[in-house]
Amino acid sequence: MTKWVYTFGNGKAEGRASDVTLLGGKGANLAEMASLGLPVPPGLTIVTEACSWFYTHGRTLPDAMKAQVLDGLAHMEKATGRRFGDPERPLLLSVRSGGRASMPGMMDTVLNLGLNDHTVEALGHDAGDARFAWDSYRRFIQMYGDVVLGLDHEVFEEILEDEKARLGHEYDTELSAVEWQHITQLYKAMLEEELGEPFPQDPQEQLWGAIAAVFASWMNARAVTYRQLHNIPTAWGTAVNVQAMVFGNLGNSSATGVAFTRNPSTGVKELYGEFLVNAQGEDVVAGIRTPQSITEAARIASGSEKPSLEKLMPEVFGEFSAICTRLEAHYRDMQDVEFTIERGKLWMLQTRTGKRTAKAAMRIAVDMVDEKLIGQDEAVTRIEPASLDQLLHPTIDPRFERTVIGSGLPASPGAATGEIVFTAEEAVEASEAGRKVILVRVETSPEDIHGMHTAEGILTTRGGMTSHAAVVARGMGTPCVAGAGTMRVDLRGERLIGLGGVTLGKGDIITIDGSSGQVLKGEVPMLQPELSGDFGRIMEWADRNRRMTVRTNADTPQDARAARSFGAEGIGLCRTEHMFFEGDRIHVMREMILAEGEEGRRLALDKLLPMQRSDFTALFSIMHGLPVTIRMLDPPLHEFLPKSDAEIAEVAQAMGMEPAHLRQRVDALHEFNPMLGHRGCRLAISYPEIAEMQARAIFEAAVEAARETGAPVVPEIMVPLVGLRAELDYVKGCIDRVARTVMDEAGMRIDYLVGTMIELPRAALRAHSIAEAAEFFSFGTNDLTQTTFGISRDDASAFLTTYQRKGIIEHDPFISLDFDGVGELIRIATERGRRTRNDMKLGICGEHGGDPASIHFCEDIGLDYVSCSPFRVPIARLAAAQAAIRGKNG
Ligand code: PEP
Ligand code: MG
């Protein structure tokens, strides 16, 4: 027979903390607290499976379950010495939801259940307080009417407001017992008129109604949306907890409160919480009255005059703090608890692992290792890798109420405030004048790089997580919200139009939150990042566990230095094209692209050579012997060219060309599908002189850096967008020839590797053949995702959010790897590549290299390294360590 119901109370429980799947988080922890002998009001939990039964049986409750609930009630009656529906000593109940994952406030609750026209009298008598009893009864009717009978809670509010006006009262507290009693009658009359039936007086009928309503609230719109946002499966269902009511509003020796066993924002080991005298749980949440501090120390720190619980009820405080210590030791983690004091008697209503800031998480994990509560491995697994963003970037003060005017993808973490500018030039101008700006564009292109460098933050209304803006901003550590489709840029009118038509102009202040993707109006208070000693200790423990190395994607010496300071162990991707946008290099690059023939190209390339060489020398020196992977030129050439007439006129003048002629050359280079066009290794095959120049710059820089630093440099040269083995053979041929020449010239041997990116499905499938020529593979998962799905990485965000909303995909595959499709290709390539070359070095350098879930995948299939933007290096180190620990523990 199915066991639908698990009871707890009086020092015993049928369930325990590990039964979360069955009993939900709340039920499992109530059971655990009861078995620990803690004061928990007796109750029962109806298992989560009953929720699916409810939905598959026309929203009804199984009879067997009802029978078990009645048995459970008998147990509660015994424990409390009260009886459900008894006119003398009635047992009153709370009926609450409690899923496997916390969904705060999303589902329904019914309190004071069991009250009717008779039991209300008993409650008043029992409590010695008729006013309290009638207030409780009217609250119950209101809650039940709303949650179970489907009446809008406003109809009750209306009656209450009318009565208060009639009686000349301003506050609820001014109403007397008789007045509440009268309001109760009005509520019941209204209810009967609306529903054609009287308010149910039978406590059992009330109970079945409430249980069904809580199950039904699993599918309310709020809960459905919340689950979508937090990836909680609908199939999980909720449990229902039915518990004996305890009252925190029975006079001045009663109270209710919430507390954390350690400070959730700093992690300091101190009881941290608030309470209200003579109040019920919802009064604390409602924020109408200012709660008081639990400890005397906190009261003094806050400068409050209102006494602390420690002072007000020293004995209860003593018991409560001992329970908190015990709960922490038992769960070996910081707890978030709810309690009620009924006439001096303490009751624990809930405990769960407490949410905390990244800083607090670090502090708590490290302290708990020192307190020997947990081991170092466990401390490492306790930190959410993505939360490290909070430690590396300024963040918006969580106490601040946000006015959101738009949202997009959280493309590069951290928050930034500044005045709106719409062009890179304005950004540079304003920052030169000492003003802080947010660069707002429809999308960015390499030409905007100077403006992106000087801006505090970048906002685009188009483009995904691997769009130019996102990739470059992450590289620079600049906060960025990309693809904010809910906003519109009117370039001509120099306006930014947000949600609800909010219109902002050039010079207006906005704040972007690159960690949440939100765009806010005006300036907001920020918290500055701080790296504590705790961070260092956690990272040291993480690194000890890590198998994969963590490299960085860095194109400039600044990026490389930042990445080193975050612990990068090499460069996994240097996108050489980014070097061509600095300063006046773009002119030389344009000269090269626009040259009519090879000779002209070579002349321009000769000018580019020393520039590239000095960049590479700097990178090699900063990396001091660590591996450095340099990729050959990748993007379609037209990306470097001017677009608007004004730009064309300017460039033509600088180059001494006719604007019309320049326009013709630009048009000739135009491609309909540039991402699938003349780019990657295809450029090196069409114009081998480009590859030769880059190879020469790399080898000459290696010679120079090796001489300078005394550390041998082993460059890893990477050929992008290879689909055919013959493509790689051809480009590798060029590179090898240049290598020999430079070595002869320098009289020095340089070890180097030539490898390829695997970023096309064909390359993954033919990996065994490509591996005969390639000495390493690096998975370019941005392009591999784009080409596997056939979805443009630059335009996808427009419809991917719709896909997510409609449940067609779970997450954006440009953010977190699509394990089933793209992942399968990576698996195939790994296996086939290693079949040919078993010691082949394998890594990933797409944006997924900084995504914790994708890093777990990389660990599982045995890659050697992940490479990510500098500010994600600590995240990757931690995630890689967690993946290794998980692997070790099976
Ligand atoms: C990739 O495609 O994953 C990659 C790293 O290259 P890019 O983003 O420069 O195309
Ligand atoms: Mg690519």
pLDDT digit string (tens) for 109-137?
999 999 999 999 999 998 899 999 999 99
| 459 vs 42: CA distance, rounded Å | 54
Give the percent of the chain with pLDDT over 90.
74
Task: Decide if pLDDT at 465 tops 80.
Answer: no
For residue 113, what are the β-bridge partners?
A: 93
Give the percent of the chain with pLDDT over 70.
99
Task: Decide if pLDDT at 285 tops 70.
Answer: no
Relative to the alpha carbon of 780, which ligand is closest? 1
Q: Give the residue whose CA is nearest to atom 9 of ligand 1.
A: 575
Q: What Å distances lie between residue 323 and 37, 149, 329, 337, 369, CA to CA?
A: 10, 39, 10, 10, 21
Q: Is 552 close to ligand 1, i.e. is its CB under 6 Å away?
A: no
327 and 433 co-located in one domain: no
Q: What is the strand order of the sheet 488-490 is part of?
A: 488-490, 495-497, 503-505
Q: Give the residue whose CA is nearest to atom 10 of ligand 1.
A: 783
Mean pLDDT across 353-376: 94
237 and 262 co-located in one domain: no
Residue 889 exposed, middle or buried by CB count within 10 Å (0-12, 13-18, 19+): exposed
Q: Is 638 close to ligand 1, i.e. is its CB under 6 Å away?
A: no
CA of 225 to the centre of ligand 1 (A): 33
Tell me whether residue 787 is in a domain.
yes
Which candidate, 775, 576, 846, places its Cα nearest to that of 684? 576
Tell me whether residue 619 is in a domain.
yes
pLDDT at 427: 94
Mean pLDDT of the chain: 93
Q: Is 783 close to ligand 1, i.e. is its CB under 6 Å away?
A: yes
CB distance 554 to 574 below 8 Å:
yes
Tell me whether residue 581 is in a domain.
yes
Mean pLDDT across 806-833: 94
Question: Which helix (H) or strand (E) covers residue 826, if one does?
Answer: helix 822-836
626 and 719 co-located in one domain: yes
pLDDT digit string (tens) for 681-690?
999 999 999 9
Q: Is 785 close to ligand 1, i.e. is its CB under 6 Å away?
A: no
Task: Decide if pLDDT at 715 tops 90.
Answer: yes
707 and 779 co-located in one domain: yes
Which protein residues have a CB closer than 5 Å to ligand 2 (ion)? 759, 780, 783
pLDDT at 656: 83
Tell me whether residue 645 is in a domain.
no
pLDDT digit string (tens) for 413-462?
889 999 999 999 999 999 888 899 999 999 888 778 889 989 999 999 98
Task: Decide if pLDDT at 835 tops 90.
Answer: yes
585 and 701 co-located in one domain: yes
CB distance 298 to 308 below 8 Å:
yes
Task: Decide if pLDDT at 294 tops 90.
Answer: yes
Beta strands in 299-436, from DSSP E residues, in sequence order: 335-342, 345-353, 395-396, 404-407, 409-412, 415-421
Question: Which is the closest atom of ligand 1 to the Cα of 846?
Answer: 3
Mutate which of 465, 783, 816, 822 for ligand 1? The one with the most ligand atoms within 8 Å of its CB, which is: 783
CB distance 61 to 234 below 8 Å:
no
pLDDT digit string (tens) for 657-676?
899 988 988 898 889 999 99
Mean pLDDT across 46-59: 97
Catalytic residue set = 468, 845
SS (H, E, C) 152-186: CHHHHHHHHHHHHHHHCCCCHHHCCHHHHHHHHHH
Q: How confident is the model at residue 828 (pLDDT cuts 50, 70, 90)?
A: very high
CA of 781 to the centre of ligand 2 (A): 7
> What does the chain come to in residues?
890
Q: Tell me the CATH number at 219.
A: 3.30.1490.20
Relative to the alpha carbon of 779, which ligand is closest? 1
Q: How confident is the model at residue 826 (pLDDT cuts 50, 70, 90)?
A: very high
Number of H helices, E strands in the chain: 35, 32
Question: Which is the closest atom of ligand 1 to the Cα of 782?
Answer: 3
676 and 600 co-located in one domain: yes
Q: Nearest-5° angle of CA 390, CA 394, CA 399?
A: 80
731 and 838 co-located in one domain: yes
271-277: list long-range contacts, CB under 8 Å, 24+ apart: 271/295, 271/321, 271/324, 272/298, 273/337, 275/309, 275/339, 275/341, 276/248, 277/252, 277/312
Task: Decide if pLDDT at 286 tops 60.
Answer: no
Task: Decide if pLDDT at 625 tops 80.
Answer: yes
Mean pLDDT across 740-766: 97
Q: Is 395 close to ligand 1, i.e. is its CB under 6 Å away?
A: no
Q: Which of 330, 356, 382 is the last residue of a domain?
A: 356
Mutate which of 577, 683, 757 for ligand 1? The one with the most ligand atoms within 8 Å of its CB, which is: 757
Tell me whether residue 497 is in a domain.
yes
Q: Which of 244, 276, 303 is the last residue of a domain?
A: 244
Task: Decide if pLDDT at 463 tops 90.
Answer: no
Least confident segment among 259-263, 635-639, 675-679:
635-639
CB distance 276 to 289 below 8 Å:
yes
| 163 vs 155: CA distance, rounded Å | 13
561 and 687 co-located in one domain: yes
pLDDT digit string (tens) for 17-52?
999 999 999 999 999 999 999 999 999 999 999 999
Encoded tokens for 414: 């951290």
Mutate which of 552, 721, 845, 847 for ligand 1? The one with the most ligand atoms within 8 Å of its CB, which is: 845
281 and 239 co-located in one domain: no
Question: Which is the closest atom of ligand 1 to the Cα of 466?
Answer: 8
What total number of domains does the chain contain? Answer: 4
Q: Tell me the CATH number at 801.
A: 3.20.20.60
Scanning the structure block, which residue is given the tokens 């005006």? 522
What residue type is assigned to position 842 of the chain?
L
For residue 317, what are the β-bridge partners?
A: none
Q: Tell me the CATH number at 401.
A: 3.50.30.10
CA of 100 to the centre of ligand 1 (A): 39
pLDDT digit string (tens) for 212-243?
999 999 999 888 888 877 778 899 999 999 99
180 Cβ neighbours under 8 A, 6+ residues apart: 131, 134, 135, 137, 138
Q: Is 573 close to ligand 1, i.e. is its CB under 6 Å away?
A: yes
Task: Decide if pLDDT at 774 tops 70.
Answer: yes
| 312 vs 884: CA distance, rounded Å | 50
Q: Tell me the CATH number at 340.
A: 3.30.470.20
812 and 756 co-located in one domain: yes
pLDDT at 37: 97
Say whether 437 sits in a helix, a strand or coil.
strand
Which candidate, 484, 486, 475, 472, places its Cα nearest to that of 424? 472
Q: Is 577 close to ligand 1, i.e. is its CB under 6 Å away?
A: no
pLDDT at 586: 87
Instruction: Output the DSSP codes for 481-543.
Output: EE--TT-EEETTTTEEE-GGG-EEETT-EEEEETTTTEEEES---EE-----HHHHHHHHHHH
Question: Which is the closest atom of ligand 1 to the Cα of 778?
Answer: 5
Q: Is 184 close to ligand 1, i.e. is its CB under 6 Å away?
A: no
Tell me whether residue 142 is in a domain.
yes
Q: What is the strand order of the sheet 292-293 is part of?
A: 292-293, 272-277, 255-260, 335-342, 345-353
681 and 747 co-located in one domain: yes
CB distance 74 to 43 below 8 Å:
no
CB distance 362 to 534 below 8 Å:
yes
For 191, the domain range is: 36-41+49-244
CA of 838 to the centre of ligand 2 (A): 25
CA of 758 to the centre of ligand 2 (A): 9
Tell me whether residue 261 is in a domain.
yes
Q: Which of 213, 244, 275 is the last residue of a domain?
A: 244
Q: Is 794 close to ligand 1, i.e. is its CB under 6 Å away?
A: no
Task: Decide if pLDDT at 846 tops 80.
Answer: yes
| 54 vs 219: CA distance, rounded Å | 12
- More confident call, 596 vs 344: 344
CA of 780 to the centre of ligand 1 (A): 5
CA of 679 to the centre of ligand 2 (A): 10
554 and 510 co-located in one domain: no
| 804 vs 808: CA distance, rounded Å | 6
Tell me whether residue 15 is in a domain.
no
Q: Is 639 close to ligand 1, i.e. is its CB under 6 Å away?
A: no
pLDDT at 355: 86
pLDDT at 850: 96
Q: How confident is the model at residue 387 (pLDDT cuts 50, 70, 90)?
A: confident
pLDDT at 93: 98
CB distance 214 to 76 below 8 Å:
no
CB distance 144 to 110 below 8 Å:
yes
Q: How confident is the model at residue 530 (pLDDT cuts 50, 70, 90)?
A: confident
Task: Decide if pLDDT at 513 tops 70.
Answer: yes
Q: Is 631 close to ligand 1, i.e. is its CB under 6 Å away?
A: no
CB distance 271 to 277 below 8 Å:
no
Task: Decide if pLDDT at 382 tops 90.
Answer: yes
What residue type is assigned to position 415 of the chain?
A
Task: Decide if pLDDT at 287 tops 80.
Answer: no
| 821 vs 784: CA distance, rounded Å | 10
